[in-house]
Structure 1
Amino acid sequence: MPKPTKGPRLGGGPAHERLLLANLAAALFTHKSIKTTETKAKRLRPIAERLITFAKRGDLHARRRVLAVIGDKSVVHELFTEIAPLVAEREGGYTRITKLGFRKGDNASMVQIELVLEPVTPKAKPAKAAAKAEKPVAAEEAGAEETSTESSEDASAEEIAVDETAAADAAAPEVDGETAESSVEKAAAEVDEK
């Protein structure tokens, strides 16, 4: 069983379909906007966007891949030199499809497919991102409070260390002519001073 095509068939065989879409893409890159049926535009969009992505890469291999689809070198040159720099900042969505109504003769749905060449505007930060931006400021204020808490914790750790040394001194009967009790009292006085 033959593999189904992606989207509606456009009449004729696969080779005719490839040529039809290649010619539509060439016309789109030449005129920046074309009027066609909705089904042709929907089939053209992924091909045109893939070719623009190749043009953004800009290397020789990408140029040859585009030339394999579009045979006209002048169109490929225009795509690489004029269109690709205009969409360099855009991450996708290079085309726009706008419905125009129905064709008079056969009532086919007509659309205008055009390249989106406007400069990209950075998106505004959502409310969650704004809230996250405010949290670091609050965290810095809390960090100052934590610093004072940490310093008191450090002081209590020093007290524990002094108490341990005092306990070790208390175990020794006499250190340098002083009694163990007096060295404990001195250590306690040092802690009180801090």
Structure 2
Amino acid sequence: MKHGRKVPKLQRDAAHRKALLANLVCALVEHRRIRTTLAKAKAVRPLAEKMVTLGKRGDLHARRTAISELRQPGMVKKLFEEIAPASKERQGGYTRITKLGQRRSDSAPMAFIEWVDAYVPPAPKTEEAEAEVVSADSKTAAAE
């Protein structure tokens, strides 16, 4: 019977499933939005939201717990410094799943999973702006 079993098995053994979910969360942290099957998106949502909750706590124990779950310290750093602060005011529901329809090859239902409070990195500097900064730096150096 399936009473009390909330984690979908995704036709994988426990170690493979844990690695898959950790990699999906890391991809979500890195790319802000990923396209995957609906079943995987629904399975990764609780782990992703738990990681944001740890990121909002921000203490050393939370960071070590996140590293032990995700196994990628670089992604944990990005999660704690960019994703979690963007969701500071939100009391849960950090991710959004958008259904996309069926995949052409095998008709698997596909979905986007993304952060609701997506962090938008600063716009890259244009060449004109960089030239202004360089010229301003050279003027201050010449004045000294």
How high is the TM-score relative to the length of structure 1? 0.58
- Structure number with bigger Rg: 1
Change (3 A) 1:66 1:3: farther
Partners of 2:16 and 2:3 in 1: CA distance: 17
4+ residue stretches of structure 1 with deviation over 6 A?
Answer: 1-4
Deviation, 1:38, is: 0.5
Find the residue that maps to 2:54 and give its secondary structure.
helix
State the match for 1:68 in structure 2.
68
Query: Which one-letter code corresponds to 1:113 in the other structure?
Result: I
Query: Which one-letter code corresponds to 1:26 in the other structure?
Result: C
Q: Taking every aligned residue pair, what percent have the same amino acid on both sides?
A: 50
Q: Deviations over 1:74-128 (max 9, x none)?
A: 1000000111111001111100000001000110000000001169xxxxxxxxx
Query: Which one-letter code corresponds to 1:17 in the other structure?
Result: R
Query: Which one-letter code corresponds to 1:96 in the other structure?
Result: R
State the match for 2:77 in structure 1.
77
State the match for 1:87 in structure 2.
87
Partners of 2:44 and 2:55 in 1: CA distance: 17
Contact 2:29 2:78 in 1 (8 A): yes
Higher relative contact order (CA 8 A, sep 6+): 2
Q: Flag structure 1 segments of 5+ consecutive residues without an equivalent.
A: 120-194
Change (3 A) 1:7 1:72: closer
State the match for 1:29 in structure 2.
29
Deviation, 1:6, is: 2.1
State the match for 2:130 in structure 1.
none
Q: Flag structure 2 segments of 5+ consecutive residues without an equivalent.
A: 120-144
Contact 2:102 2:109 in 1 (8 A): yes
Q: CA RMSD in A?
A: 2.0
Partners of 1:15 and 1:3 in 2: CA distance: 22
Find the residue that maps to 1:61 and give its secondary structure.
helix
Partners of 2:118 and 2:26 in 1: CA distance: 20
State the match for 2:134 in structure 1.
none
Change (3 A) 1:85 1:41: same
Contact 2:86 2:117 in 1 (8 A): yes
